[in-house]
């Protein structure tokens, strides 16, 4: 099977949906002529024109608000908020309008809208351009959340998101855009709410997101030489969340580590830990360990940013900690 970049997998999904459904259109800052700040919408403006791939003013509230209005009138917009750090600017539109409107109108309107946004550090972009905020949106009822970690998942999940009649937050790790992976040319979808076991193991369960999936897989490969079998689970979507796969894994291994680039306090790992504590605590043989970023803004300096961001060393320490209870 051919290998393509993460960004190109997303581009293929957008292109396919623009071709097959005239109701689909893209809007956002620099998505048109420039082809997207990260190259995801490259050539789409050229091939579909400004009526389908719209460059917008620098107004996140207007972008999301326009998407909401279009979606409730029968269109299927894919709106881009360039960086996840900018989503708080339009939080009212996301949290109080898009997320609640279908519920408040008793299902009389649909909101088939995708909000794409890039997240994560690693590029020296400092505190206002490097955050990972998916946990913030997990707390808002009415939103679906996709967090693809591979080119294959990116294309399949985006196809699913565009076909959904509910608002979908589609977060992309900016450090994965240049990652290559096997992706079919044909159209395919990945169901929301189905986690992927990226690696099987019997000793420790790791639930990870975005590029932390790949860091966890690296550690799993290294520690397999020491006889430690690590099972790596990628949830792929956070809302809905496939908690059954996670719980079944914990029942098998008896140990749980969560690995996430977001802040540790009230983060993604906290929710996974709470679910397992409520529904599978009798299977735990060691305390749950969360590997995540500290509760500070993302530093600008490269040395501090590297220290701030969870890495393979942090994951190894977590494995050693839980294995001490074996």
Catalytic residue positions? 129
Collect all residues with Cβ–Cβ distance below 8 Å to 306 and sequence separation of at least 6: none
Residue with tokens 């993302």: 298
When computed from its CA atoms, the radius of gyration of the chain, rounded to whole angstroms, is 20
Quick check: 148 and 95 in contact, CB under 8 A? no
H or E segment to which residue 51 belongs: none
For the chain, list the strands marked E by DSSP. 3-5, 24-28, 53-55, 76-83, 114-119, 144-146, 168-173, 180-182, 196-199, 204-208, 230-234, 237-239, 256-263, 289-293
Task: Tell me the two tokens of residue 267.
Answer: 């983060």
Cβ count near 165 (within 10 Å): 14
Alpha helices in 21-150 (DSSP H): 44-48, 60-72, 91-92, 101-104, 134-138
Q: Tell me the three state secondary structure of residue 160.
A: helix
Q: Which of 154, 235, 206 is nearest to 321 (CA)?
A: 206
H or E segment to which residue 319 belongs: helix 312-323
Q: Which of 280, 225, 238, 236 is nearest to 256 (CA)?
A: 280
């Amino acid at each position: 099977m051919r290998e393509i970049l993460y960004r190109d997998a997303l581009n293929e999904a957008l292109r396919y949906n623009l071709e097959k459904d005239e109701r689909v259109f893209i809007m956002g800052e620099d998505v048109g002529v420039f082809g997207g700040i990260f190259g995801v919408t490259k050539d789409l403006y050229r091939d579909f024109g400004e009526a389908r791939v719209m460059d917008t003013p620098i107004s996140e509230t207007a972008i999301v608000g326009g998407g909401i209005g279009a979606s409730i009138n029968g269109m299927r917009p894919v709106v881009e908020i360039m960086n996840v750090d900018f989503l708080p600017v339009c939080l009212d539109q996301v949290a109080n309008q898009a997320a609640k409107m279908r519920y408040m109108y008793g299902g009389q309107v649909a909101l088939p809208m995708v909000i794409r946004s890039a997240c994560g550090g690693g590029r020296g972009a400092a505190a206002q351009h490097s955050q990972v905020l998916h946990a913030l949106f997990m707390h808002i009822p009415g939103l679906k959340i996709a967090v693809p970690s591979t080119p294959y998942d990116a294309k399949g999940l985006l196809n699913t998101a565009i076909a959904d009649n509910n608002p979908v937050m589609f977060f992309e790790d900016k450090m994965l855009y240049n990652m290559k992976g096997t992706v079919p040319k044909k159209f395919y979808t990945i169901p929301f709410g189905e986690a992927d076991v990226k690696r099987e193991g019997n000793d420790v369960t790791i639930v990870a997101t975005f590029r932390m999936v790949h860091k966890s897989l690296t550690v799993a490969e290294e520690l397999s030489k020491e006889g430690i079998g690590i099972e790596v689970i990628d949830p792929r979507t956070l809302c809905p969340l496939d908690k059954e796969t996670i719980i079944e894994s914990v029942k098998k291994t008896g140990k749980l580590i969560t690995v996430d680039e977001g802040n540790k306090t009230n983060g993604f790992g906290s929710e996974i830990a709470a679910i397992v504590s409520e529904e599978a605590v009798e299977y735990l043989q060691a305390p749950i360990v969360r590997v995540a970023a500290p509760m500070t803004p993302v530093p600008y300096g490269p040395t501090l940013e590297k220290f701030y961001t969870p890495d393979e060393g942090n994951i190894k320490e977590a494995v050693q900690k839980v294995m001490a209870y074996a």
